[in-house]
Structure 1
């Protein structure tokens, strides 16, 4: 019985990890434009981390698409993310910063989390540790590799609807 549970757990982890990928070391990101991810624009809501999530993406303008993310748990803002996907050297880069509910930043003033483009594959756009998936015009998934306090990582799925 324990072997069955372990096998199921192992298969579940392996299945989850298939939604995100990383850019191999010393590999140049592929060419892409904001047109490849312009379907992200809009107001999206979902549930994750025990609360309500909200993500707003602007249309492409000035070589970038800006976004804001908010997590609300038990009626209180838990945290925000602000960022963008921008065109740089004929490819895309996904960049973000985190903020507490009082807008005090988690990262240092000049620190930004930056994720290189890995590939564009149909309705999926893969960044280093993040995948954006168009399910339909009114539904998207975002898969993110999250670092845990113990040094391990896990893939978290966010499902959003317009």
Structure 2
């Protein structure tokens, strides 16, 4: 019995190691993010549209709608830089006036990449299925603490 338990533990560790196999930080390894995604967050409806990988990058637009009106937009990119990936974005009011200065971006460097997860510093993409993903974003609250906001998206 003790031997069987040891074998099961080794098999379990082996399966977990395979599930968490690190992938090369190439844009093609996150192609599953591409598509039109819809969800809810911040008390409203969200829409995020990601392009297919090309030329070492992907681009996206994000829109938050509250009470039938756009609250804000984002333009996002993920690109290959120095043998890794970086996610960068800019925020815009509903009239396209930017939050960041002209040359400023909000940057999220890649920490870890597996078959079903892209972990950037402050933002994580998690593939649930080909038609569902979660995005977790670290957002500072009024107290200066970090809250993790979860976006559950369904692909259209």
Calculate the TM-score normalised by the size of structure 2. Answer: 0.83
Provide the C-alpha distance between the structure 2 equivalents of 1:35 and 1:62, rounded to a whole number of angstroms: 10
Provide the C-alpha distance between the structure 1 equivalents of 2:51 and 2:122, rounded to a whole number of angstroms: 22
Give the match's secondary structure for 1:106.
coil
Number of the residue aligned with 1:139: 132
Number of the residue aligned with 1:38: 31
Number of the residue aligned with 1:115: 108
Distance apart, 1:149 and its partner CA: 2.4
What is the CA deviation profile of residues 130-159 of structure 1, one whole-angstrom value per residue up to 9, with x for unaligned ones?
Answer: 100110010010000001122111001000
1:79 matches 2:78: no
Unaligned 5+ runs, structure 1 = 1-29
Distance apart, 1:61 and its partner CA: 1.1
Unaligned 5+ runs, structure 2 = 1-22
Number of the residue aligned with 1:92: 85
Could you say what the CA RMSD is over the residues aligned between the two structures, in angstroms? 1.1
Provide the C-alpha distance between the structure 1 equivalents of 2:115 and 2:27, rounded to a whole number of angstroms: 14
What is the CA deviation profile of residues 82-112 of structure 1, one whole-angstrom value per residue up to 9, with x for unaligned ones?
Answer: 0100001111000000000000000111100
Q: Which has the higher contact order (CA 8 A, sep 6+)?
A: 1
- 1:41-80 aligned at under 5 Å gives the runs 41-80=34-73
Would you say how many aligned residue pairs link Structure 1 and Structure 2? Answer: 133
List 4+ stretches of structure 1 deviating above 6 A.
Answer: none
Does the aligned pair in 1 maintain the 2:24–2:113 contact within 8 Å? no
Give the match's secondary structure for 2:153.
strand
Task: Mark the structure with the bigger radius of gyration.
Answer: 2
